[in-house]
Amino acid sequence: MNFSITTLGTASAKPIVGQHQSAHVVNMHGRLFLIDCGEGAQFQLSKYGISKSRLDNILISHLHGDHLFGIFGLLSTMAMEGRVSPVYIYAPKDFSSLLKFFLAHFGEGVKFEINHIPLKSKGPEEIINLHNCHVWAFPMNHMIDCYGFKIIYHKMPRHEGQPEVYKSIAYCSDTAPFESEAEWVRGVDLLYHDSTYADDNEALAGKVHHSTARQAAQVAAEAGAGKLILGHFSSRYKDFGVLLAEAREVFPESYLAQEGKTFEVI
């Protein structure tokens, strides 16, 4: 497995039996990035054999509970397991007050640095640059400050005449479609996108700043993405097939996120 994303949770605001809240792990040649950390994320990491000790970078899209409530349990477990290496958390600026509360009340056993890097840009901004890895953050269209992410693998040629290789995974949740979105994820190999509702709830999606599966597919098509992964499903749908069918009418390379399922780019 070289460059991939594994979904740990597919639910939106309300977790249900068998469906956890938002959390995903991007694996780039053994370097792991946790994107969002909904309730129960650490149990899902254990269930699917993903090492917590290798999570150095955590990307939090926004401060709604279904994307955040698992973070302090995860940090506590890291401390109990004797972690000493730093953790870097990229999250909106208001996360700092939550982190201070956690450390003040539950941080006695934390022996490692927890570094919060605030997200506050109004357009695409590179937030991580590590050798062959680049991570960009960009604002979403949600009810509060919210950010999407693009993780780029850059392989330099080993021999003269060989081309450079760029592969990328983008994550856009939670958001309603907006004018610049497709441009900001243009050409991405794999796009994970908010697909909370089907067409029957398009008006509701707009009201609460989420996307329908069809709207997600329209973004993927406009961006020229390779594959679209639909996720962040409303609990009102018991069969996600309707979401997949509506997306594939626009973008045939659409797939449903499933907990524990890995999609590989290369």
Catalytic residue set: 66
Please calculate the CA angle 106-110-111 and round it to the nearest 5 degrees.
160
Q: Return the bridge partners of 31, or none.
A: 28
Category of 181 on φ-ψ map: left (φ > 0), alpha (ψ -120 to 50) or beta: alpha
First to last CA, the chain: 8
Residue closest to 98 by CA, chosen among 60, 135, 136, 51: 60
Exposed e or buried b per residue across 20-35, where buried means at least 16 C-beta atoms within 10 angstroms of its C-beta: bbbbbbbbbeebbbbb
- Give the position of tokens 């907990």: 259
SS3 call for 69: coil
Backbone φ, ψ for residue 184 (5° rounding): -70, -20
SS3 call for 163: coil
Report whether 74 contacts 32 (CB < 8 A).
no
Using CA atoms, how far residue 247 sits from 9, 71, 103, 218, 243, in Å, is: 20, 31, 43, 8, 6
